[in-house]
Structure 1
């Protein structure tokens, strides 16, 4: 039974990345009627930032050769602060491990990912975390244009960062869908780019529909 984990990290409730995520989830669920779906809003329900105990858990997991949840449970039981750090981490890791497909709503903030998403990544990442065999679609929104060949392409620290992060953990079935020029409809000095924004939005929605129906379930 395939499982989809849908994350939202936009600070705006009516954001373009959330709309792409909602569309992806709807198409995926229609294409996988036997699948299960979990949604986590990282802004409405923020993840606890890293503390010293959580950092020690990562180090200890390497020291003890941890390879699974049961072994991590044993390491975390060694001290109350480790147990508390693991209590805040374990449900997120279980949710991630159970997913075959990730749909990640991630707008670009200040050229990179939102803090809410970065905190989640920091919290769930452990040296033994296995992501090979899963697939992910990152659903982005950018105020300007950052695609290949644009003047601001070198300013894009969002897609390269997420690509590096996931591939380093073994997840190579990774797609990015961006709605670009989202500032054009609301900023008068970008009015001439509104048609380009609309074309980007339409193309993004079409790609979302195609990816949701073809994304394989591990």
Structure 2
């Protein structure tokens, strides 16, 4: 049975990244009527930042050469480490069970929200592999960061996530769909770009539906 893990990271309850991830999820669920679905709102229900006990779990995983995700729990020995594992385990179970991981995230300060980074830190252990899974990121950015734009070099949202999912998790199937120029909706100085923003948003909605039906 196919299973979708759906994460949202925007601090806004009504946001374009949530709109796009919701469009993907609805389309995916319609295309997979028997599929499993798990939703987690990383902004409304934040994942704690990692602490020292979590780093000790990682040390034990490395020291003992544990590469099987199902054996990570063996690294928890002290009460503090077991408490840290209690946070990690449900997050990791959701991730490992999914065939497709959907992440709705805005760009904050050229990168990703701290809520998403906290989740990534919690579920990431040395040498772990999620190869064979599919990651889809629906993003919203205040400006234009696409290829050839002046701000392309400071896009540390897509670049970071793509490099991390492929470089650490070994995931080759990574798709990004962005709506850009969202600041044009609120910044009078960018009012002349509202048409381009609407076009970008509409194109992103169309694209996520196409991707979800693959």
Do both share a fold (TM > 0.5)? yes
CA offset at residue 69 of structure 1? 4.5
The 5 Å alignment of 1:166-185 reads 166-168=165-167, 169-185=169-185
Name the SS of the counterpart of 1:183 in structure 2.
helix
- The runs of 5 or more residues in structure 2 that have no matched partner are none
* Counterpart residue number, 1:159: 158
Runs (4+) off by over 6 Å: none
* Counterpart residue number, 1:197: 197
Name the SS of the counterpart of 2:200 in structure 1.
helix
CA pair 80-103 structure 1, distance change in 2 beyond 3 A = same
RMSD: 0.9
Deviation track 1:100-155 (CA, whole Å, cap 9, x = no partner) reads: 00110110000000000000000100114321000011010000101011111111
Q: Distance in 2 between matches of 1:21 and 1:27?
A: 10
* Counterpart residue number, 1:10: 10
* Counterpart residue number, 1:37: 37
CA pair 61-32 structure 1, distance change in 2 beyond 3 A = same
- The runs of 5 or more residues in structure 1 that have no matched partner are none
Q: Distance in 1 between matches of 2:70 and 2:40?
A: 24
Q: Distance in 1 between matches of 2:123 and 2:193?
A: 39
CA offset at residue 185 of structure 1? 1.7
Name the SS of the counterpart of 1:167 in structure 2.
helix
So what's the TM-score if we normalise by structure 2?
0.97
* Counterpart residue number, 2:145: 146
Name the SS of the counterpart of 1:74 in structure 2.
helix
So what's the TM-score if we normalise by structure 1?
0.95
